[in-house]
Amino acid sequence: MAQYPERLNGIFQALADPTRRAVLGRLSRGPATVSELATPFDMALPSFMKHIHFLEDSGWIRTRKEGRVRTCAIEKAPFTAVESWLAEQQELWESRTDRLEQFVTEHTVTTHPKDTPP
Amino acid sequence: MAQYPERLNGIFQALADPTRRAVLGRLSRGPATVSELATPFDMALPSFMKHIHFLEDSGWIRTRKEGRVRTCAIEKAPFTAVESWLAEQQELWESRTDRLEQFVTEHTVTTHPKDTPP
DNA sequence: CAAACAGTTAGCCCTTGCGCTAACCATTGA
DNA sequence: TCAATGGTTAGCGCAAGGGCTAACTGTTTG
């Protein structure tokens, strides 16, 4: 677990952009070319390509150029990386439910952005 | 599902930084004050506070100031948001495993799928 | 061959991210 | 009361993110 933490930076950052999440959503259904992927977005191609490169560099996709067409396919490794990060947190969380419960009832931390007066 | 996509931007971006992931890891064990959280990091306090604010703004943590001490606690909502995003992708992915398998093993994109040999 | 197509390269712009210092409250404890 | 503690505010610097246009390369295709 927690193999290459530095890879996680890119993996998560890739997901921080709606365009890139949408591209992954599309590629989850199956491979597609760059222009197929680009059409739904109101964005210049070079801008869009940056997202493709980001996804490739972060490991989310793998691409291959054949003739003048570049085809993209999703990669499953980052998926499992995210899942195991989540699982890790879950474990820690599980191992102290009691104390959390206690803290919540004792101090009742609110979600108000401003500090609540005493 | 996919309730507030725009929230996902911050949720994922928060995870794109190792300091913030570490803070979440620590908070998964239980609440802590800002200075408790800060000590492991070789970073000026104002810099560290930016991470705390980022985590709070993105919804990962909730904080409360009591006297001169600010206590932080983790929030589970973003967790489940990430999980459901993953689940969504999984679904799409599941619904076309056959074609994926083919693409992976046969890294050349063919115009017509090859039939499974008898 | 020439035109259309699918990307690519280069460079510009503006915003955001992430680190720092210096100076400044506001509690708390001696 | 006064110093130490725990954060906070303000501002600075630099790198990276995310968008654009213009111009270019390398395939198809009519």
Nearest neighbour of A29 by CB, restricted to B5, B74, B96: B96
Query: Each residue of B59-116: pLDDT tens digit?
Result: 999 999 999 999 999 999 999 999 999 999 999 888 875 454 554 544 443 333 333 3
According to the model, what pLDDT value does residue A55 have?
98
According to the model, what pLDDT value does residue B43 have?
96
Query: Each residue of B8-67: pLDDT tens digit?
Result: 999 999 999 999 999 999 999 999 999 999 999 999 999 999 999 999 999 999 999 999
* Record: contact B28-A93, CB cut-off 8 A: yes
Q: Show which of residues 78-117 on chain A sit within 8 Å of chain B, judged by CB atoms.
A: 79, 82-83, 85-86, 88-90, 92-93, 95-96, 99-100, 103-104, 107, 109-111, 113, 115-116
Query: Each residue of A57-114: pLDDT tens digit?
Result: 999 999 999 999 999 999 999 999 999 999 999 998 888 754 545 445 444 444 433 3
Query: Each residue of A26-62: pLDDT tens digit?
Result: 999 999 999 999 999 999 999 999 999 999 999 999 9
What are the φ and ψ backbone dihedral angles of A60, each rounded to 5 degrees?
Answer: -75, -30
Instruction: Show Cβ contacts of residue B90 under 8 Å, excluding neighbours closer than 6 positions.
Output: A79
Residue B13 β-bridge partners = none
Which pairs with CB-CB distance under 8 Å and at least 24 residues apart come from B101-109? Answer: B103/A30, B103/A31, B103/A73, B104/A73, B107/A64, B108/A66, B109/A31, B109/A64, B109/A66, B109/A71
Q: For residue A43, which amino acid is it?
A: M
Nearest neighbour of B86 by CB, restricted to A13, A17, A83: A83
Question: d(Cα A28, Cα B94) in Å, to the nearest integer?
Answer: 9
Mutation for B interface: A28, A88, A103, most B CBs within 10 A: A28
Does residue B53 sit at the A interface (CB-CB below 8 Å)? no
